C-alpha cells in the first residue's frame, strides 16, 4: 500500500524524520556555544516564523499531488518547468545521506561498545584515543555505515504502512521515554544546575548575523525541510489528515526533544567538572567519560547511544524513502519500471559507494578525494546545511507562492493570506538575505 494507515502513524513517522542527530547531537553544543537561551529564543522564532509555514507547505505539496518529489511539482504546476528542481532535491538528499549514514554508523558502533562494557575504566585520554583510532580506521567505519544502510533499507523493503509506520509507532514512544528518563536522571545530579544555566542563560551579546544564520539553518535541518522528506510523507497522508495539526505537533516534538537533549548533556558535563567541548568530541568522548562517573555507567551509556541510534535511523529512513519513491515514480512510465524492492537495492548500493568515498576521504586514505581543500565529509555537511537545504526551502516556497494555480489549494489552509504572504515574500527574502550574508556579499 502506498499510504500510511493512521494519522498517528503519519505524525510519528514525521517526528521520527525530524528528531535526529540534528536535535540530539548538534543542537545542544551549538546552543551552548552561541548564546544559550538567546540562541534558543532565536531558534524558536525562526521555527515559528519560517519553519512552520515551510513544513506545512511541503506536506501540502505531497498531500495535494499524491506524488513523491519526482511527480509532485509537475502534478501541481501542470508543466515540466520544475523538473530541474525535483532533481536538485534528489541530489541534495543523496549528498545529505552520504555523511549522515557515517555518523549513524558511529552511533551503532558506540552502542555496541557500550553494551560490551568497553568503556568501563577508560579515562579521558583512553576515550580520546578510542575515538581517534575509530575515526582513523576506514574499514571499520565503512562496515558500520553499511550496517546503518542495511538497517534502513530493511525497513523500506516493506510497504510504508508496514515498515516505516509500524516501526515509528514502536520506536518513537520508546525514544521519548528514554529521553525523559535520562533528562530527569541528569537534571537531579548534584551540580547539574550549572549545566542548565549554561544552556538556558541568555547571552544576547553572542547574537551576530552568523548566529542568526546558524539558528535558521538549525531550524530547517531539524525540521527536515528542503530535501523532499516531508513532501514524500505528505503524499502518504490519509485524505482526512489535518496538515496544520500534524505540523504543529511535529514541530512541538522537535523543540521539546532538542531542549531535553540539552538538559541531558550539559548538567552531566558540568556536574562532573568537565568542560563542554564542541562537535563530535562532546558526544563521543566527553559523554562516555561522564557516564563512567554515574551510578549505573553501562546502563546509562547503552541507553544514551541506543537513543542516538533510534533517532538517527528514523531520520535515515525518511531520507532513503525520498529516493526510493522518486526512482519508482520516475521509472514508472518507462520501458523498465523499477518496483520498490529493486529501487531499495539500487539506492542502497549507491549509498554504500558515496559513504565509502566520504569515509576514505575523511580518513585521508585517498588523499585526492577533496573538495576545495576539505574532505568529503566536511564538504558535504557544509554544502547541505549552508546551500542545498536553503535552496530547497526557497524553491518550495516560491513554487507554492507563485506557480501553483489557486484552484489547487482552494479551501486548504495554504490559501489564507498570511500563509501566502510568508511563502511569496517573507521566507524567500529572508533566505536570500541570509544566503548573501553567508557568502559575504552583504
Ligand atoms: N531532521 C533530521 C535531524 O535533525 C535531519 C533530516 C534532514 C532528516 C532532512 C530528513 C530530512 O537530524
In the predicted model, what is the mean pLDDT of residues 14-24? Answer: 95
Q: Residue 173, exposed/middle/buried by CB under 10 A (0-12, 13-18, 19+)?
A: exposed
Output the pLDDT for position 408.
79
Ligand 1 nearest atom to the CA of residue 21, by list position? 12
pLDDT digits (tens, 9 = 90+) for 118-165: 999 888 889 989 999 999 999 999 999 999 999 999 999 999 999 999
pLDDT of residue 207: 87
Long-range contacts of 39-42 (CB under 8 A, 24+ apart): 39/206, 39/207, 39/211, 39/214, 39/215, 40/199, 40/200, 40/202, 40/259, 41/202, 42/207, 42/211, 42/212, 42/215
Q: Which atom of ligand 1 is nearest to the CA of 20?
A: 12
Mutate to test the pocket of ligand 1, among 29, 69, 168, 221 (most ligand atoms within 8 A of CB): 221
Query: How do residues 204-248 score in pLDDT, each as one tens digit?
Result: 898 888 888 889 989 999 999 999 999 999 999 999 999 999 999
301: confidence class by pLDDT, cuts 50, 70, 90: very high
Mean pLDDT of the 320-324 span: 98
Which pLDDT band holds residue 25 (cuts at 50, 70, 90)? confident
Q: Which atom of ligand 1 is nearest to the CA of 254?
A: 4
Average pLDDT of the chain, as a whole number: 91
Instruction: Please state, in angstroms and rounded to a whole number, the distance separating the CA atoms of residues 111 and 366.
Output: 28
d(CA 411, CA 51): 22
Mean pLDDT value across residues 392-418: 84
Binding-site residues, ligand 1, Cβ < 6 A: 17-18, 20-23, 221-222, 224, 227, 229, 315, 318-319
Q: Give the whole-number percent of the chain exceeding pLDDT 70.
A: 98
For the chain, the C-alpha Rg in angstroms (whole number) is 21
Q: What's the pLDDT score for residue 201?
A: 86
59/350 Cα distance (integer angstroms): 27
Bridge partners of 371, per DSSP, are: 374
Cβ-based neighbours of 425, under 8 Å, separated by 6 or more: 401
Q: What is the pLDDT of residues 40-53, one digit of tens each?
A: 999 999 999 999 99
pLDDT band of residue 343 (cuts 50, 70, 90) is very high
Helix runs in 295-416, H state only:
297-331, 340-362, 376-382, 389-398, 406-409
What does the alpha-carbon distance between residue 351 and residue 263 come to, in Å, rounded to a whole number?
34
Amino acid at each position: 500500500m502506498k499510504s500510511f494507515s493512521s494519522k498517528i502513524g503519519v505524525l510519528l513517522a514525521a517526528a521520527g524524520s525530524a528528531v535526529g542527530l540534528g536535535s540530539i547531537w548538534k543542537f545542544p553544543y551549538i546552543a551552548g556555544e552561541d548564546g544559550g537561551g538567546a540562541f534558543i529564543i532565536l531558534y524558536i522564532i525562526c521555527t515559528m516564523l519560517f519553519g512552520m509555514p515551510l513544513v506545512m507547505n511541503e506536506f501540502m505539496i505531497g498531500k495535494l499531488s499524491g506524488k513523491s518529489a519526482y511527480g509532485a511539482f509537475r502534478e501541481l504546476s501542470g508543466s515540466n518547468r520544475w523538473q530541474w528542481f525535483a532533481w536538485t532535491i534528489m541530489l541534495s538528499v543523496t549528498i545529505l545521506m552520504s555523511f549522515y549514514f557515517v555518523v549513524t554508523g558511529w552511533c551503532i558502533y558506540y552502542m555496541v561498545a557500550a553494551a560490551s562494557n568497553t568503556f568501563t575504566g577508560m579515562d579521558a585520554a583512553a576515550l580520546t584515543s578510542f575515538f581517534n583510532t575509530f575515526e582513523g580506521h576506514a574499514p571499520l567505519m565503512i562496515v558500520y555505515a553499511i550496517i546503518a544502510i542495511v538497517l534502513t533499507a530493511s525497513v523500506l523493503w516493506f510497504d510504508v504502512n508496514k515498515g516505516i509506520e509500524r516501526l515509528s509507532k514502536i520506536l518513537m514512544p520508546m525514544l521519548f521515554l528514554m529521553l525523559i528518563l535520562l533528562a530527569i536522571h541528569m537534571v537531579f545530579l548534584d551540580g547539574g544546575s550549572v549545566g542548565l544555566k549554561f544552556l538556558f542563560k541568555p547571552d544576547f551579546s553572542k547574537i551576530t548575523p552568523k548566529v542568526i544564520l546558524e539558528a535558521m539553518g538549525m531550524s530547517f535541518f531539524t525540521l527536515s525541510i528542503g530535501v523532499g522528506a516531508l513532501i514524500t510523507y505528505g503524499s502518504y497522508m490519509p485524505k482526512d489528515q489535518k496538515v496544520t495539526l500534524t505540523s504543529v505537533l511535529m514541530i512541538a516534538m522537535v523543540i521539546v526533544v532538542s531542549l531535553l537533549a540539552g538538559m541531558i548533556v550539559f548538567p552531566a558535563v558540568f556536574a562532573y567538572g568537565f568542560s563542554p567541548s564542541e562537535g563530535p568530541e562532546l558526544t563521543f568522548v566527553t559523554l562516555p567519560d561522564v557516564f563512567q562517573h554515574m551510578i549505573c555507567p553501562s546502563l546509562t551509556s547503552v541507553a544514551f547511544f541506543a537513543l542516538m541510534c533510534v533517532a538517527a535511523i528514523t531520520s535515515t529512513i525518511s531520507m532513503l524513502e525520498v529516493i526510493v519513491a522518486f526512482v519508482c515514480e520516475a521509472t514508472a512510465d518507462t520501458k523498465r519500471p523499477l518496483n520498490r524492492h529493486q529501487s531499495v537495492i539500487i539506492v542502497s548500493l549507491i549509498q554504500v559507494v558515496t559513504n565509502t568515498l566520504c569515509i576514505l576521504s575523511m580518513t585521508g586514505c585517498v588523499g585526492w578525494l577533496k573538495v576545495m581543500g576539505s574532505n568529503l565529509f566536511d564538504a558535504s555537511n557544509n554544502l547541505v546545511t549552508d546551500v542545498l537545504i536553503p535552496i530547497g526551502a526557497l524553491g518550495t516556497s516560491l513554487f507554492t507562492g507563485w506557480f501553483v494555480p489557486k484552484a489547487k489549494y482552494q479551501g486548504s489552509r495554504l490559501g489564507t493570506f498570511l500563509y501566502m504572504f510568508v511563502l511569496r515574500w517573507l521566507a524567500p527574502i529572508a533566505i536570500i538575505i541570509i544566503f548573501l550574508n553567508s557568502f559575504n556579499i552583504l
